[in-house]
Amino acid sequence: MPRGVAITEPRQHLFAAAERLIATAGPSQLTSRAVTREGGVATGLLFAHFASFDDFLTGYAVDRSFQIAAAVAGLPDRAGTGTLDANLSETLLATPMITLLAVTRLFAYRPPLTQAVEAVLGGGSAALSALERTVAGYLTAERHIGRLPAAADTEALAVAVVGALHHIALTDGDDPAAASRIRRAITALTTAATVREPS
């Protein structure tokens, strides 16, 4: 970025640079210099907005955890509309794959970020944790109106759905086929869950 060009949202600019770095080089390569180099800005810009590099990483983790939770917040309201697999897939994949990849890798590499995020956003809010609670709430609503069998274990199904998302994002999030694999996994899980026992 040319010197002297104003950045309207410097924090988001730096967060996006960190995200690209995690996706391409891995979280072990994150340094303040690497982030600002990736962002095409002076190193001082990062420290003008964050007290330390750890503070920057916490800010990134809080921001992305909030975005992920916000993206799925409306899922329970979709109960009774569309199909279960489409509702889940569209909602869970509303967050860009690069964000899912970066967040899962960063939290796996720096476990203390979970506590730091929860200190700001509350318990069960870090990374993909909020997804499990929201997906379980949605599936419970679907069970209540009869689109899932009464015996369906919605909490276990939510763990399986979010677990598939987490695994694929963590291991293959930079693969163009990752989103398709997530959709297929969700379809398989919801199809199995809607099979009713013979009466």
Is residue 44 a part of any domain in this protein? yes
**7 pLDDT above the threshold of 70:** no
Residue 88 CB neighbour total at 10 angstroms: 30
Please answer whether residues 134 and 75 qualify as being in contact, where contact means their C-beta atoms are separated by less than 8 angstroms.
yes
Q: Which residues contact 85 (CB under 8 A, 6 or more apart)?
A: 183, 186, 187, 190, 191
Q: What is the pLDDT of residue 170?
A: 84
Is residue 66 a part of any domain in this protein? yes
CATH number, domain containing residue 19? 1.10.357.10
**What is the span of the domain harbouring residue 35?**
10-193
Please answer whether residues 50 and 56 qualify as being in contact, where contact means their C-beta atoms are separated by less than 8 angstroms.
yes
Q: Among candidates 79, 70, 69, 71, which has minimal Cα distance to 138?
A: 79
Is residue 199 a part of any domain in this protein? no
pLDDT band at 198 (very low <50, low <70, confident <90, very high): low
Is residue 93 a part of any domain in this protein? yes
Query: Residue 8's Cα: distance from chain center in Å?
Result: 25
Is residue 106 a part of any domain in this protein? yes
What is the domain count for the chain? 1
Sign of CA dihedral 145, 149, 150, 151: negative
Is residue 102 a part of any domain in this protein? yes
**5 pLDDT above the threshold of 70:** no
pTM attached to this predicted model: 0.88
Length of the chain: 199
Is residue 15 a part of any domain in this protein? yes
**175 pLDDT above the threshold of 90:** no
Question: Could you tell me the two tokens for 113?
Answer: 């970020």
Is residue 198 a part of any domain in this protein? no
pLDDT digits (tens, 9 = 90+) for 122-166: 998 998 888 999 999 999 999 999 999 999 999 999 999 999 999
Amino acid at 54: D
